[in-house]
Structure 1
Amino acid sequence: MLNSFLDAKVLTTLGSTLGLVLLDLLLGIILSIKQGNFDVRKLPQFLTSGVLPYVGSLLVFVLFAGSLPAITAIFYTSAATVVAKFLVDIKDKLIGLNLDRTPK
């Protein structure tokens, strides 16, 4: 349905961005479990403040990207900003997980 309405590049960008958001969410859960401070009661609050604003705003831009080229440009800029933010967050979480087992 969306393939006929939206450009494949927009959908690919959206999918990649949402994948990074999901990866960050999962790494955050894993890290908090490892640190012993995971509380499932705080998860809905985190979703509404730390995930849904990014996802929701991108989805709103995607809905209008097919009809207005200016919105498409705003979508790509917003997606790039979200990707940069979540890549830094993912890097920090991977460092926090201390996956590097090489001796120093």
Structure 2
Amino acid sequence: MDTVRDAAHRGLLKLMLRLPALRGQLQVLWRTDTSLEALCEAYEAATTTFERLTRKSSAGEDGLVEEYRNVCLELEKDVQNRCLAPTARTR
């Protein structure tokens, strides 16, 4: 059975692939910042939905595809900001 922690971990792995310059910081934050788990879980859900929509996109779903693309990008920005915040660098 898939757990929230499993989904969050998959999201973390996707973020590490998408943001290779921040891999080390992400690994540290994963162990020390419990709120990162929620962001990773949200990223997993958003990317999974985005991938599903792009595989079977119809003309009527173009807006939805773009919306999920933007959600993924915003989550990536949130994670980057968290990794680059002064408090994250001192952990």
Could you tell me the TM-score, scaled by structure 1's length? 0.47
Q: Secondary structure at the match of 2:79?
A: helix
Percent of aligned positions that are identical: 10
What is the CA–CA distance in structure 2 between the aligned matches of 1:82 and 1:17, rounded to whole Å?
13
Counting matched residue pairs gives: 70
User: Over residues 45-91 of structure 1, what are the superposed CA-to-partner deviations in whole Å (9 max), with x where a residue is unaligned?
Assistant: 963x3421221122112201231322221122112211210110110
Residue aligning to 2:18: 19
Report the aligned-residue RMSD: 3.5
Within 5 Å, give how 1:70-81 maps onto structure 2: 70-81=63-74
Within the candidate set 48, 62, 69, 1:59 is matched to 48
Q: Is the 8 A contact 2:39 2:75 kept in 1?
A: no
Q: 1:17 to 1:71 in 2, by over 3 A?
A: farther
Normalised by the length of structure 2, the TM-score is: 0.52
Which has the greater radius of gyration? 1
Structure 1: runs of 5+ lacking an equivalent: 1-14, 33-37, 98-104
Whether contact under 8 Å (2:54, 2:65) holds in the other structure is yes
Runs of 4 or more consecutive aligned structure 1 residues displaced over 4 Å after TM superposition: 15-18
Distance in 1 between the 2:66 and 2:39 partners? 24
CA–CA separation in structure 2 for the residues paired with 1:18 and 1:59: 15
